[in-house]
């Protein structure tokens, strides 16, 4: 680790290094915990069967994958496929191509420039990112409906 400030003493640099390493370890440890309603796919960016990544809404400053799942579940548009949790606290809610629009939910950023469709099937390997897909074994009913330009996604989830 490189420090740009020459004013830090060696002891302060060491203490800062330990804090940074420990906080990275905490984020890495929570990245693979189980999350109700989701299945862990692997370390990396979520991909569809053709190797495409998904459009997303992103939120910063979340401490765990469970917080990321909660944030994604709170987005009230259709097309949610899963999420990617980045170990420094970034959350990327993964959406089917065509569902992310310029109307961004409060507290989120987003991108509609990607082309993932269908179920998340694999990851584009990256150790600091962790992909989770919706656990379809918990879904009792899923229905998508379009009325004009509005798209709706209804999910009835059974938690064991």
pLDDT in tens, 138-156: 655 556 667 777 666 655 5
Is 4 inside any structural domain?
A: no
Whole-number pLDDT of residue 156 = 56
Is 1 inside any structural domain?
A: no
Is 117 inside any structural domain?
A: yes
* Overall number of domains in the chain: 1
Is a pLDDT exceeding 80 seen at residue 89? yes
CB neighbour class for 100 (10 Å; exposed up to 12, middle 13-18, buried from 19): buried
- Give the pLDDT mean for 57-73: 96
How many Cβ atoms sit within 10 Å of the Cβ of residue 3? 11
Rounded Cα–Cα distance for residues 147 and 92 (Å): 27
CA distances from 19 to 12, 22, 32, 145 (A): 11, 5, 21, 48
Is a pLDDT exceeding 90 seen at residue 124? yes
Query: pLDDT tens for residues 1-36?
Result: 222 233 333 333 333 333 333 334 444 445 567 899
Is a pLDDT exceeding 90 seen at residue 121? yes
Segments forming the whole domain that contains residue 112? 10-157
């Amino acid at each position: 680790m490189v420090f740009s400030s020459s004013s830090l003493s060696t002891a302060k640099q060491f203490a800062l290094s330990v804090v940074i390493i420990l906080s990275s370890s905490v984020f890495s440890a929570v990245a693979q915990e189980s999350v109700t309603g989701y299945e862990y796919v692997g370390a990396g960016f979520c991909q569809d069967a053709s190797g495409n990544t998904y459009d997303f809404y992103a939120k910063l400053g979340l401490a765990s994958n469970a917080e990321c799942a909660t944030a994604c579940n709170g987005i009230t548009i259709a097309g949610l496929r899963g999420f990617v949790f980045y170990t420094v606290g970034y959350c990327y809610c993964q959406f089917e191509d065509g569902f992310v629009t310029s109307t961004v939910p409060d507290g989120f950023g987003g991108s509609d420039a990607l082309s993932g469709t269908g179920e998340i099937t694999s990851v584009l390997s990256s150790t600091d990112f962790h992909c989770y897909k919706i656990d379809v074994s918990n879904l009792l009913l899923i229905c998508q409906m379009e009325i004009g330009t509005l798209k709706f996604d209804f999910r009835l989830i059974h938690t064991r």
